[in-house]
Structures are given as structure tokens and as C-alpha cells.
């Protein structure tokens, strides 16, 4: 079972993440991750923007980073649906970054345990700004190698009855009816919205998440999705 805590990780000797010439460098030191015995309920509405493949003993993580994020900090957040595993780490993008997809260092202390989390129960998201900011601008994270799934927007809707994802500036794209995540425990995220392929080719998309519970509509959540996935 997951029983390692962040306090324990703080005792591990610091890892040096010196700039090795990569266009994106990990700046969090030590690497921030935690495996819990008891889950914490997530307070964030937007939890993930993720396409998943296969991870083995070594975890492969990459992300779309837009060219207008060059010279800035970004925050990679990863969490399991049950909330038992979580990581949050800051990276810096080089000033000469020209945009595209790039591998991200992910030196997990427990890679085998993390890789064993089922693909549909893991969420990754790359947010503009460091991990202390509450950014609403998110880029796609690719979790794993090989054939990747469709990109999913992962939400914490507090067990809403229905959730829709709409695209006010792209009327040609129909509203998406999101689906409940199939898991016994859904403390971190409970809903998945699968994006159509034609939408994944667009660099910047403003989306609105609308949830309904007991016949009443909840508060709108406006988010900016940076997609630009290569087909």
C-alpha cells in the first residue's frame, strides 16, 4: 500500500537538477511527490489535461509547451483519482523555446508504484506559472509511451449528476457530455471529458465546464486549453 509521506521524502538527499542544455529544466529540489495512506479531497475543479500511454519501471512524461510560454515557469501536477498519489513540481522554459512537445524530467522516488496506477486513473496537467499560482491556462501532458489515448479533461465536480464541456468560440464543435470516472474512490477527480481529434489540433481553446446536480446548474468554470497536439 501507499504509505510514504512527503515528510519522509524531505529526508532523501537533494537531487541536483543542473541545466543540461534542455529547453525545459526541473527546478523543484527535492522532487515534490507523496504517497498517502489516506486520501485528501481535491479543491481544484480542473485537475487534468492528459493523454495516456504505457509506463514501465521508468516513467515517461512529456507535454505541449506553447511558444508564448518561453522564459516562464510552468507547473506539472500529477494525481491519482483516489488522491493517494500526488506530485507538483516547477519547471522553467528557456528563453529561446519555439514551441512544441518536449520530454519532462520526472525523477519519481517510487517509479514502479507510480507506473502501476491504471492509465484511466492518473491525471497530469501543465499549468502556466509556478505551482503557487492558480492558473486557468493548461497544456496537455502525455503520460507514458507508445500509442496514446485521446486527450481527456479531468474534473472534480463533487459528484455532479451531469457535466458538459462547451466551446463558446468554436460553435462548430458540439458540446461534450462528460462521463464519470470508473473507480471505487474518486477523491481527486471524478469526471472525464474526451476531446474530439479535430479540437486537439487547435493551439488555444477556451472551454467552459458546466455541471448539474439535483437539477440545478453549478458555477461555470472557464479554462484555457493549450492543445496543438501533433496528429
125-138 confidence digits (pLDDT tens): 999 999 988 898 99
Say which residues have a Cβ less than 8 Å from residue 164's Cβ, sequence separation at least 6: 175, 176, 177, 178, 209, 210, 211
Q: Is 60 exceeded by the pLDDT of residue 206? A: yes
pTM strictly above 0.75: yes
Closest by alpha carbon to 109, among 18, 24, 2? 2
- Cell numbers placing 153: 479533461
Q: Are strands 141-143 and 46-52 parallel, antiparallel or unpaired?
A: parallel
| Tens digits of residue pLDDT in 139-198 | 999 999 999 999 999 999 988 999 999 999 999 899 999 999 988 788 899 999 999 988
Closest by alpha carbon to 155, among 222, 204, 76? 222
Q: Provide mean pLDDT across the span 111-120.
A: 93
Distance CA 90, CA 24 (A): 10
Q: How confident is the model at residue 81 (pLDDT cuts 50, 70, 90)?
A: very high
Distance CA 198, CA 148 (A): 16
| Tens digits of residue pLDDT in 32-74 | 999 988 766 666 799 999 999 998 778 999 999 999 999 999 9
Distance CA 28, CA 138 (A): 19
- Cell numbers placing 101: 512537445
Q: DSSP assignment of 83-107, as one string? A: SSEEEEEEEEE-TT---EEEE----
Tally of CB atoms within 10 A around 91: 24
Query: Omega before 30 cis (within 30°)?
Result: yes
Angle (CA) 138-144-148 rounded to 5° is 80
Contact of 153 with 165, CB cutoff 8 Å: yes
Amino acid at each position: 500500500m501507499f504509505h510514504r509521506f512527503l515528510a519522509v521524502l524531505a529526508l532523501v538527499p537533494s537531487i541536483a537538477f543542473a541545466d543540461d542544455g534542455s529547453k525545459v529544466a526541473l527546478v523543484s529540489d527535492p522532487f515534490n511527490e507523496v504517497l498517502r495512506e489516506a486520501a485528501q479531497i481535491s479543491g481544484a475543479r480542473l485537475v487534468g489535461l492528459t493523454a495516456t500511454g504505457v509506463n514501465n519501471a521508468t516513467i515517461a512524461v512529456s507535454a505541449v509547451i506553447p511558444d508564448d510560454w518561453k522564459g516562464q515557469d510552468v507547473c506539472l501536477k500529477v494525481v491519482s483519482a483516489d488522491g493517494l498519489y500526488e506530485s507538483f513540481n516547477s519547471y522553467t522554459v528557456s528563453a529561446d523555446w519555439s514551441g512544441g512537445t518536449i520530454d519532462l524530467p520526472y525523477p519519481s522516488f517510487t517509479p514502479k508504484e507510480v507506473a502501476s496506477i491504471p492509465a484511466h486513473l492518473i491525471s497530469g496537467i501543465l499549468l502556466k506559472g509556478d505551482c503557487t499560482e492558480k492558473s486557468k491556462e493548461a497544456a496537455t501532458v502525455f503520460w507514458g509511451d507508445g500509442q496514446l489515448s485521446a486527450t481527456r479533461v479531468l474534473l472534480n465536480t463533487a459528484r455532479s449528476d451531469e457535466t458538459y464541456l462547451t466551446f463558446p468560440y468554436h460553435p462548430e464543435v458540439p458540446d461534450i457530455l462528460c462521463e464519470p470516472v470508473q473507480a471505487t474512490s474518486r477523491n481527486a477527480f471524478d469526471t472525464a471529458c474526451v476531446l474530439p481529434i479535430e479540437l486537439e489540433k487547435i493551439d488555444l481553446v477556451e472551454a467552459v465546464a458546466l455541471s448539474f446536480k439535483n437539477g440545478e446548474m453549478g458555477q461555470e468554470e472557464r479554462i484555457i486549453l493549450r492543445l496543438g497536439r501533433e496528429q
